[in-house]
C-alpha cells in the first residue's frame, strides 16, 4: 500500500510540474502572471493606466524604447525622462526583489502586448543592468 501511495504521489507531482507553475511556465505565460499579480492594479489589465496618475503602458515610448531604461525603471524605480511629468503622489515601486528571469518575462510581456511591438528582453540584459546599477 505504501509503495502505491509513493508511486501515486510521485506521478501526481510530475504531472503538476508538467502543467507549469511559475517555474514551469513559458516566459510569455510567466510574464502574463507577473503582470496580473504586480502591475495590473496600477497600469490596469489593458495597460492603459489611470488618468494622469499611473502612466499607460499601451503605446508608451518608454516601454518600446531603450530596454536598459525600462529595466532600471522596473528594478529601481528610476523614472525615465521619456515619461510625462508626474501628477499626484503615485510612484513606481521598486521590483528589485524579482529574479532576472521574472523581470525579463514581465517586461517582454509588456513590450509585446497592449498594441506594443518591441523585441523581447532577456535575463542577461536584466542582470547587466542590475550589476551596473549596483556599481563596483
Q: Is residue 12 part of a domain?
A: no
CATH for 125? 1.10.760.10
Q: Alpha helix (H) ranges present in 45-122? A: 61-64, 67-76, 100-111
* Residue given cell 532600471 in the structure block: 72
**What pTM, to 2 d.p., does this model score?**
0.77
CA-to-CA distance for 133 and 17, rounded, in angstroms? 35
* pLDDT one-digit tens code per residue, 42-56: 999 999 988 777 888
* pLDDT one-digit tens code per residue, 83-131: 777 666 578 889 999 999 999 999 999 999 999 999 999 999 999 999 9
By three-state DSSP, how is residue 36 classified? Answer: helix
Q: Is residue 18 part of a domain?
A: no
Q: Is residue 55 part of a domain?
A: yes
Q: Is residue 116 part of a domain?
A: yes
How would residue 27 be classed by pLDDT, with cut points 50, 70 and 90? low
User: What is the domain range of residue 41?
Assistant: 26-134
Amino acid at each position: 500500500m505504501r509503495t502505491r501511495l509513493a508511486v501515486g504521489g510521485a506521478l501526481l507531482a510530475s504531472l503538476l510540474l508538467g502543467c507549469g507553475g511559475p517555474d514551469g511556465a513559458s516566459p510569455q505565460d510567466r510574464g502574463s502572471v507577473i503582470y496580473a499579480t504586480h502591475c495590473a492594479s496600477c497600469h490596469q489589465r489593458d495597460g492603459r493606466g489611470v488618468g494622469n496618475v499611473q502612466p499607460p503602458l499601451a503605446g508608451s515610448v518608454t516601454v518600446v524604447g531603450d530596454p536598459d531604461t525600462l529595466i532600471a525603471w522596473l528594478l529601481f524605480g528610476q523614472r525615465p525622462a521619456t515619461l510625462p511629468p508626474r501628477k499626484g503622489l503615485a510612484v513606481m515601486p521598486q521590483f528589485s526583489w524579482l529574479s532576472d528571469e521574472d523581470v525579463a518575462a514581465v517586461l517582454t510581456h509588456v513590450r509585446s502586448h497592449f498594441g506594443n511591438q518591441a523585441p523581447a528582453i532577456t535575463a542577461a540584459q536584466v542582470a547587466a543592468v542590475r550589476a551596473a546599477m549596483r556599481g563596483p
